[in-house]
């Protein structure tokens, strides 16, 4: 299978995905997913010294809220990829991340529990994406009023997580290994 090794063409994703994709090194997206999962697994221990309600600035999410946001995005983008890969091109609505986090129970849960959920979602997505034929990676669907391929969603999942893991490292000062060098 060659498609997971090829970065999506700009015609496969909306412009707002580009900053996430720019965080990724070249390589097999499935390998990048696996490498990044290690950061998810290490998050509770790495963030253990922070107070539960600490944020780096007023109005920003706690570490638990940010981690639940990663789980939401992993779930939603994986679902979109599943639908598109199987030929369902019914347009899907976007989601308001702040509303989803506000409606979550993130701050009533342990970070270990949320990180475990995120890791399980990533493992399920790795299994799903590993099962795809080359032609399925290239299928296009519409979400949030934008066309995107299954491949772009896979890269978007990893790039979005890389963005937030970098924020955890740089702004929250959580000593994380991100899986590869991220500026």
Q: What is the DSSP string of 41-75?
A: HHHHHHTTTS-TT--SSTTPPPHHHHHHHHHHHHH
**What pLDDT digit, counting tens, does each position of 103-158 carry?**
999 999 999 999 999 999 999 999 999 999 999 999 999 999 999 999 999 999 99
> Structural domain tally of the chain?
1
Residue 111 structural domain: 16-170
Residue 162 included in any domain? yes
User: Would you place residue 70 in the very low, low, confident or very high pLDDT band (cuts 50, 70, 90)?
Assistant: very high
CATH code for the domain of 83? 1.20.120.450
Residue 104 included in any domain? yes
Residue 4 included in any domain? no
In the prediction, which pLDDT does 86 show?
97
Residue 180 included in any domain? no
In the prediction, which pLDDT does 23 show?
93
Residue 5 included in any domain? no
Tokens of 102: 């506000």
User: Quick one: how far is CA 65 from the chain centroid?
Assistant: 14
């Amino acid at each position: 299978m060659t498609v997971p090794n090829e970065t999506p063409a700009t015609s496969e994703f909306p412009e707002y995905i580009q900053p996430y994709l720019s965080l990724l090194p070249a390589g097999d997206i499935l390998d990048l997913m696996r490498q990044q999962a290690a950061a998810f697994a290490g998050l509770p221990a790495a963030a253990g010294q922070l107070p539960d309600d600490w944020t780096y600035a007023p109005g920003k999410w706690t570490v638990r809220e940010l981690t639940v946001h990663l789980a939401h995005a992993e779930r939603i983008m994986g679902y979109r990829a599943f639908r598109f890969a199987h030929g369902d091109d019914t347009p899907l609505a976007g989601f308001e991340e702040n509303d989803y986090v506000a409606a979550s129970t993130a701050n009533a849960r342990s970070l270990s529990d949320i990180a475990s959920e995120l890791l399980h979602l990533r493992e399920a997505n790795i299994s799903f994406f590993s099962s795809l034929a080359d032609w399925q990676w290239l299928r296009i669907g519409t979400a949030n009023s934008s066309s995107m391929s299954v491949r772009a969603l896979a890269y978007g999942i990893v790039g979005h997580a890389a963005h937030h893991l970098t924020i955890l490292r740089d702004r929250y000062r959580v000593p994380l290994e991100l899986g590869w060098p991220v500026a």
